Amino acid sequence: MKQLVLAGGGHAHVQVLAAFAQQVLPGVEVTLVTPQPVQWYSGMVPGVIAGRYSAHEAQIDLAALARRAGARVVLDAVVGVRPDARQLRLASGGELAYDALSLDTGGELSRDLIDGAREHALFVRPLHAFMHLWPRLQSLAARQPGLQVVVIGGGAAGFELAVAMRHALVAQARVTLVAGNAGLLPRFPRGLRHRALAVLKSRGITVIADDAVEIEPGQLRLSGGSRLPCDAPVVALGVQPPAWLAHSGLRLAADGFIATTASLQSVSHPEVFAVGDVSCRIDAPHPRSGVYAVRAGPVLAANLRAWAAGRPYAMYRPQRRALALLSCADGTALASWGPLSARGAWVWRWKDRIDRAFVQAYRDSEPLVSLSLR
Ligand SMILES: Cc1cc2nc3c(=O)[nH]c(=O)nc-3n(C[C@H](O)[C@H](O)[C@H](O)COP(=O)(O)OP(=O)(O)OC[C@H]3O[C@@H](n4cnc5c(N)ncnc54)[C@H](O)[C@@H]3O)c2cc1C
């Protein structure tokens, strides 16, 4: 039997497992390496925080999905790859040999981007750790009225988390969004930025267009020198390459993520596939978001099948534009598509339907639904 190792239960690998559950991969033993038996679906996490979903509604049971796919589950984390020996190093100290490796482990949120953050801040990634701590932040806010919560990060996740926390903590906490020097949602069209700023203003969330440079107990220092009262800093910045990649021997792109081709293979080691935030398509770079990891999933499943059968590979062409749907936590959401933007309850219903369908597809042994919109 050939050995295929799937590392990480990200957006593409859940689709691969669902595809293998529908049609087994003959002659191949599949192993999933994941630190957690369940995967939080990030698109619904702000909704969980705002109280719109239960935790269960926003989770995918990776262990059950792997079982249906006939895959072995190893509850562990990859901490190194020796591609020339085709071996993985695991956090537990063990090693795992593979004939083909597929990486969908996402990016990491560095603890050291802001001085003092490692000691004093909450980090939104890994999501399971953050969601474990969220109820404690809620009870702290209940015990300490006027708690100063500062969300650091002006991207979509920072916006959604700031409004969700404000919604959940209502009068118990003050929420500030430190959006960075580039301001709020810098990669989004102007119309959406205006709408998002209006939402934040209407909730009493202060937006600061400056970088956080140091976190100390009770306060946060900005690059302009001013200080901000801060009891609970929440870091929601963009992801960095996992530290273990640096010495992996896999060719990396300039940004430090795994350089991949249109067939989702490593440019240096064709038996290594990589998708989602951990990878960088050197021929067609695109932003890191769940949309692209989702879209790459079916192509990855087809190519792992092609690898097993010795057939030619399919190509994944990332879409030029991605639909972005941002929850405002009050039953409305923002949408942007190219230069267009909108806000309304209909946008929330649209997002809700897409997100629920994604998670639901992996809950039962139902056929894969269309995932094209995320
Ligand atoms: C709060 C929040 C909301 C978001 N909302 C959206 C949204 O609505 N739409 C959107 O497009 N994007 C959204 N994003 C961004 C999105 O979450 C990421 O771009 C997306 O998760 C990347 O998917 P992925 O498959 O690459 O990896 P991930 O979804 O990060 O999954 C990686 C998996 O690998 C596991 N793993 C990690 N390290 C290892 C290791 N060393 N060994 C083995 N397993 C490992 C992790 O536990 C995890 O299960 C949001 C992000 C956040 C923080």
What is the predicted pLDDT for the residue at 373?
Answer: 36
CA 242 to chain centre: 13
Burial class of residue 238 (count of CB atoms within 10 Å of its CB; 0-12, 13-18, 19+): middle
Q: What is the pLDDT of residue 337?
A: 93
Residue nearest to ligand 1 atom 10, measured at CA: 290
The predicted structure's pLDDT at residue 364: 67
Output the DSSP codes for 191-239.
HHHHHHHHHHHHTT-EEE-S-EEEEETTEEEETTS-EEE-SEEEE-PPP
Nearest atom, ligand 1, residue 7 CA = 43
- Pocket of ligand 1 contains residue 157 by CB under 6 Å: yes
Q: What is the mean pLDDT of residues 37-44?
A: 97
**Mean pLDDT, range 127-156, rounded to an integer:** 95
Confidence of residue 321 (pLDDT cuts 50, 70, 90): confident
The CA-based diameter of the chain, rounded to the nearest angstrom, is 63
Residue to mutate, 42, 52, 159, 300, ligand 1, most ligand atoms under 8 Å from C-beta: 42
Task: Yes or no: say if 66 and 60 are a contact pair by the CB < 8 Å rule.
Answer: no
> Domains in the chain, start-ordered, CATH in brackets?
2-108+240-322 (3.50.50.60), 117-235 (3.50.50.60)
pLDDT tens for 93-107 read: 999 999 999 999 999
pLDDT tens digit sequence for 154-182: 999 999 999 999 999 987 899 999 999 99
pTM of the model: 0.94
User: Is it the case that residue 365 has pLDDT exceeding 90?
Assistant: no
**Three-state secondary structure call for residue 69:** helix
**Beta partners for residue 280, in sequence order:** 259
Mean pLDDT of the chain: 95
pLDDT given for residue 320 in this prediction? 85
pLDDT value at residue 368: 43
Ligand 1 centroid vs 293 CA: distance in angstroms? 9
pLDDT class of 129 with cuts at 50, 70, 90 = very high
Q: Whose C-alpha lies nearest to ligand 1, atom 6?
A: 43
Which residue(s) pair with 340 in the sheet? 337
The token pair at 88 is 């993985």
C-alpha span between 122 and 137 (Å, rounded): 10
On whether the CB atoms of residues 103 and 258 are closer than 8 A, the answer is yes
The reported pLDDT for the residue numbered 216 is 96
Rounded to whole angstroms, the Cα distance separating 239 from 242 reads 9
List % helix, strand, coil for the chain (3-state, nearest 5).
Answer: 35, 25, 40
Residue nearest to atom 35 of ligand 1 (CA): 8
Q: Is 70 a residue whose pLDDT tops 80? A: yes
Compute CA distances 320 → 201, 290, 315, whole Å.
32, 15, 15
Residue 210 has pLDDT above 60, yes or no: yes
Percent of the chain with pLDDT over 90: 94
Instruction: Please give the distance, rounded to the nearest whole angstrom, from the Cα atom of residue 10 to the centre of ligand 1.
Output: 6
Average pLDDT over residues 78-97: 97
- Residues 150-164: b if buried by 16+ CB within 10 A, e if exposed: bbbbbbbbbbbbbbb
pLDDT grade, residue 371 (50/70/90)?
Answer: very low
| Tens of pLDDT, residues 275-292 | 999 999 999 999 999 999
List the one residue out of 95, 91, 14, 78 whose CA is nearest residue 250.
78
Cα 107 to chain center, whole Å?
8
Please state, in angstroms and rounded to a whole number, the distance separating the CA atoms of residues 261 and 270: 9
Confidence of residue 273 (pLDDT cuts 50, 70, 90): very high
**pLDDT interval class at 367 (50, 70, 90):** very low
15 in contact with ligand 1, CB cutoff 6 A: no
3-state secondary structure of 94: coil
Q: Could you give the C-alpha distances from 78 to 125, 131, 275, in angstroms and in order?
A: 16, 22, 15
> What is the spatial distance between Cα 300 and Cα 279, in angstroms, rounded to a whole number?
13
